[in-house]
Copies of this chain bind each other. A is one copy, B any other.
Amino acid sequence: MKQKDNKTEEAILQVARKAFIQKGLTGARMQDIADGAGINKALVHYYFESKEKLFALIFQQEFRKFFSNLAAVLSADICLFDKIQEIVALDIERISQFPDMPLFVLNEISRNPTMMVKQFKQLQAKNVLAGFQQQIDAEVKKGIIRKISAQQLLINIQSLSIFPFVAKPMIRKVMQMTEKQYQEMIQARKKEVAQFIINAIKA
């Protein structure tokens, strides 16, 4: 048989990813994806059956990026302040590589919350969160930090890390930033955000 070169399949995925992220499920066009990949539209269906299937695949991939390594760091056996620094650095660096991923994922989850269900079974977030809360409580007891719930702290960390990417066009316009200035602002956050959070909770 003919060698199954992933080249075509890979090209489709690459173009489709860009299309779906930029225009959403309904906005993206199968014809454009085919054209972008330099192939026939029927070939897209040959490889991925339907628009929904192709979309689901890409969503799955992006979704995994969203949580990659987060659980590991949260469960790591390091002190709270280091943990915060780790999470922030991980988040910002990861998202810097896929700047459009968060808005895409959040948007599609909001449109269709059930899509997430399958992806999420393995993540058993409940234990991770409970462990994180334990660590926080211990630090509170030692008088090192103020009282705070693991939920709120985690939301704060993720908000400060992720939101600047989600709101990039808004921020650039409101603050009249060039692309370069925006990138510098993000770089600065890599250092500042963790310290901001630590200051906020330090007793």
Contacts and interface: CB of A to CB of B under 8 A. Distances in A.
Interface of A: 22-27, 100, 103, 105-107, 109-111, 113, 116-117, 120, 123, 125-126, 129, 146, 148-149, 151-152, 155-156, 158-160, 162-164, 166-171, 173-176, 185, 188-189, 192-193, 196-197, 199-202
Given A125-B176, A199-B201, A170 B22 contact: no
Contacts of A174: 120, 123, 125
Contacts of A117: 173
Contacts of A120: 173-174
Given A156-B160, A166-B106, A176-B125, A185 B146 contact: no
20 contacts: A24-B26, A26-B26, A27-B111, A100-B110, A103-B107, A106-B170, A116-B173, A120-B174, A123-B174, A125-B174, A151-B185, A152-B185, A152-B188, A155-B163, A155-B164, A155-B189, A156-B193, A159-B159, A196-B201, A199-B200
Contact of A129 (B123, B163, B175): B175
Contacts of A173: 109, 113, 116-117, 120
Copies of this chain, complex-wide, total 2
Contacts of A111: 22-24, 27
Contacts of A175: 125, 129, 151
A107 to B, nearest CB: 5
A113 B179 CA distance: 14
> Which residue of A158, A159, A201 has the most chain B CB atoms within 10 A of its CB atom?
A159
A23 to B, nearest CB: 7
Contacts of A162: 159, 163, 167
A105 B193 CA distance: 25
